[in-house]
Amino acid sequence: MNKSITQDTQNDNQISKTIRRFFVRFHISSALKSANAYKTKGFSVVEVFQYLFLLVFSNRSMYMNLLTGRNTPAFAKDTVYRFMKMVQINWIRFTTILSGRIIREAIVPLDSEDRANVLIIDDSMFERNRSKKVELLTKVYDHAKHAYKFGFRMLTLGWSDGSTFLPVNSVLLSSENKRNRINEAAAMDKRTVGYKRRQLSMQKGTNVMLELLKYAKSAAIPAKYVLFDSWFSSPSSIHAVKGIGYEVIAMVKKTPKMFFRYNGEDMPLTAICSKNKKRRGRSRYLLSVMVDVVKDGKTIPAKVVYVRNRNKRKEYLCIISTDTGLDENEIIRIYGKRWGIEVFFKVCKSYLHLSKECRAISYDAMTAHTAVVFTRYMMLSLESRESNDERSLGELFLYFSDEMSDITWIQAFQLLLQMFRELLADNLDIADDKIDALVDAFMDAVPALLKSKLQAA
């Protein structure tokens, strides 16, 4: 496990230069080792992880690869299954370490010191609608489709500088209510990471959010603000995030049940709005007021900005910031960086086969699959930032898929060429230098584009 990706493994021959450079540059093998992923015997962990990483770019499942004999690894499928179900691997730590390396080594050094880096919390549907035996499966309300589905809430913490979004870590949330869970967790040693992972999945989303933030804080991921929408916003969560060491910029619900202290009186945001005169004209916001966020006798000063709702002109949205020194327009601008996580969810589901590629019923295997998808997105996001063209993440994904197909075809061509050389040597009395001359003449005759790809390979 100490070694980097070797040049003589079968998987390494089927990997593009860009992907290989990503694995070596950010030391995927050492990140896996730090997450307690190591081999007891047989193949190295990084080989198995690399095979899983490449599956999506081959446009085939592992089953179809084995059936057709294309892109087949040197190890058996049971090796892959055992790896994904390893209870000792801390996948939260792995993705946190990897994203931290990318941020510190490739992104932050090129950013301005004045740029506001943020952490973003949000959840999305991880659907397993046709698998009734999945461990910890629960019924979840899908807000996008307005229907209940079987699956999990994938609570995700991401990082953004406004230009590049990187996933940091996540938890597949089941339900804290036992009656809502279709299946219970498998019995295992309470000292293992797998047991703690399952216990975390059965906690409230706001509590899990704090655990993910603590992982990011311990990994020294540079960020000043934490952004989240109204689902996670409450006085208790604002106090908790502030206690970890981050400022909060969040959307707040306009509910009569949530109170903030204004001019010495506790009142909901709607009542505060009615007591103040609104700004006229084309201003981006209607009102800005100072409030106190009170919880258990502790008070945090905050600024609430009432923003015009572009979809419903007669309504408004409320954004709260614990950094009271920020200008109202700056608060709105920073909160706009939260859109990066929505793009992330869309790309993962549309292109990277989130939840579709892994049909395992083990909670550990699903968590491992999520970490693999996060790593794929990290590579695409970094490539999008560092490439000279303006390709979208979807276009980059298709580019890598085409490149992998080219590599497979070139390998087959090289195999045929090698067989032809061996036939000439075995059946005809031709010297090796003559055979080399014939091969060189053949290579000179092929089209220039094909020749360049063959020579590069």
Give domain 105-357's CATH superfamily.
Transposase Inhibitor Protein From Tn5; Chain A, domain 1 (3.90.350.10)
Annotated domain spans of the chain? 11-84, 105-357, 399-456
Close Cβ partners of 313 (under 8 Å, ≥ 6 residues apart): none
**CA proximity to 249, closest of 337, 184, 309:** 337
**CA proximity to 210, closest of 125, 291, 119:** 119
* pLDDT at res. 341: 96
* pLDDT at res. 156: 98
Angle, CA of 41, 20 and 23, to the nearest 5°: 65
* pLDDT at res. 196: 97
Close Cβ partners of 236 (under 8 Å, ≥ 6 residues apart): 206, 295
Q: Do the Cβ atoms of 167 and 133 come closer than 8 Å?
A: no
3-state secondary structure of 277: coil
**CA proximity to 238, closest of 258, 223, 268:** 258
pTM listed for this prediction: 0.82
Q: Do the Cβ atoms of 230 and 251 come closer than 8 Å?
A: yes
One pLDDT digit (tens) per residue for the chain, 457 residues: 333 333 333 343 445 778 888 999 999 999 999 999 988 888 899 999 998 998 888 777 776 666 666 667 788 889 999 999 999 999 999 999 999 999 999 999 888 888 899 999 999 999 998 888 999 999 998 887 888 899 999 999 999 999 899 999 999 999 999 999 999 999 999 999 999 999 999 999 999 999 999 999 999 999 999 999 999 999 999 999 999 999 999 999 999 999 999 999 999 999 999 999 888 877 789 999 999 999 999 999 999 999 988 777 778 999 999 999 999 999 999 999 999 999 999 999 998 989 888 889 999 999 999 999 999 999 989 888 887 556 666 666 666 565 555 445 455 556 666 676 677 677 676 777 777 777 777 767 666 655 665 555 4
**Of how many residues is the chain composed?**
457
* pLDDT at res. 125: 94
